[in-house]
Amino acid sequence: MSTVTAPTIHCIPVLSDNYVWLIEGRDGATVIVDAGEAAPVIAAIESRRLRPVAVLITHHHGDHVQGLPDLVARYPVPVHGPESCGRAGVDHVVVDGQQIEIPEVGTVAALATPGHTQDHLSYVLGKDVFTGDSLFTAGCGRLFEGTAAQMLDSLDRLAALDDDTTIHCGHEYTTDSLRFAAHAEPDNAKIATRVTDTAACRAAGDPTASASLAVEKQTNPFLRIREPTLRRAIEAYVGQPIDDDIEAFAQLRHWKDDFDGLARL
C-alpha cells in the first residue's frame, strides 16, 4: 500500500450525522469516500479547488450512496464499491484484497468488513483506513445483514492494522458510543478522558469520527471483548459465564442495543 504523497483528509458533514471523506493527493487530485449527499461535497470540492479522480463506496445503504448520481453527473469519475451497490452507481466492483491504483493519490487496498451489510468494504491507504459503518469511533455498526461472527472477524482484521493507523468512519456517533463504553467499563480512565475530549471537540463544532487504532483499542468496547474486566461485565449482563469470543461479542452488541433503547426512553 503506497501513497504518492501523504494525503490531506477532509471531513465533510452530510445529512444529519453522516460524513463523506475527501482524500486529497497531489495537485488537488481527490478521492471521495461515500456519497450520502452531493451538494455539501460539491461545495467543499469547489471551495478547495479540488479535482475528483475516483469515488469509493463502503456499502449500499442510502445514507452512503444516494448522492452518487448528482456527484457523478458533476464529476464523471470511476466509482469503486461492493457488488450490491451496482444499482446505486458503482461501476467498478471491488472485492476483498483488491488493490485500486489511483494516480496522484496512491494505492488503496480494499478490506472486506462484513457484518453491518454482507459486502461492506473498508479502504486502506497508507496509515489511514476508511471504515464506513463497520468500525466506528468508540463503537461498531449494527448487525443489519451479517452475524456477530462476521463483525468480530471484520473488527479483528481492522485491529490487525498498525496501531498508528487512523480510522475514519461514516457517522458522528462518538458521544453516544462513549456513553455506552463508560457504562460497560466504568473504571476505564482512558474512556473517561475520551468522553471529556470528545465533548470539547463537539462543543467547538469539530467532528470526532477519526481516531488512531491505538486509542480505539484502549477505549472501544467492541475491540476489547477479550479484556478480562469487560468480559466479566458482559457475563454479568448475561447472567452466566461466556467462554466463546463470538458469544461475548454478540452479547456486547445486544447490551449496547438494549442500552440505546433505554437511553431513548
Residues labelled catalytic: 59, 61, 63-64, 116, 133, 171
Q: Which is nearer to Zn ion, 194 or 253 (CB)?
A: 253
Contact between residue 148 and residue 114 where contact means Cβ atoms under 8 Å apart:
no
Residue 117 CB, nearest approach to Zn ion (Å): 7
Residue nearest to Zn ion (CB): 61
Residue 30 CB, nearest approach to Zn ion (Å): 23
Work out the angle between the directed axes of helices 245-264 and 174-184 (0-180°, nearest 10).
120
Q: Which is nearer to Zn ion, 37 or 133 (CB)?
A: 133
In Å, what is the CA distance from 204 to each residue of 192, 207, 250? Answer: 19, 9, 35
Q: What is the rounded distance in angstroms from the CA atom of residue 221 to the CA atom of residue 216?
A: 8
**Residue 119 within binding range of Zn ion, rule CB under 5 A:** no
Residue 59 CB, nearest approach to Zn ion (Å): 6
**Residue 133 within binding range of Zn ion, rule CB under 5 A:** yes
> What is the grid cell recorded at 212?
488512531
Q: Which is nearer to Zn ion, 24 or 34 (CB)?
A: 34
Beta strands across the sheet bearing 106-112:
99-102, 106-112, 121-125, 128-132, 166-169, 210-212
Question: Which residues from 49-68 bind Zn ion, rule CB under 5 A?
Answer: 61
Give residues in contact with Zn ion (CB under 5 A). Answer: 61, 133
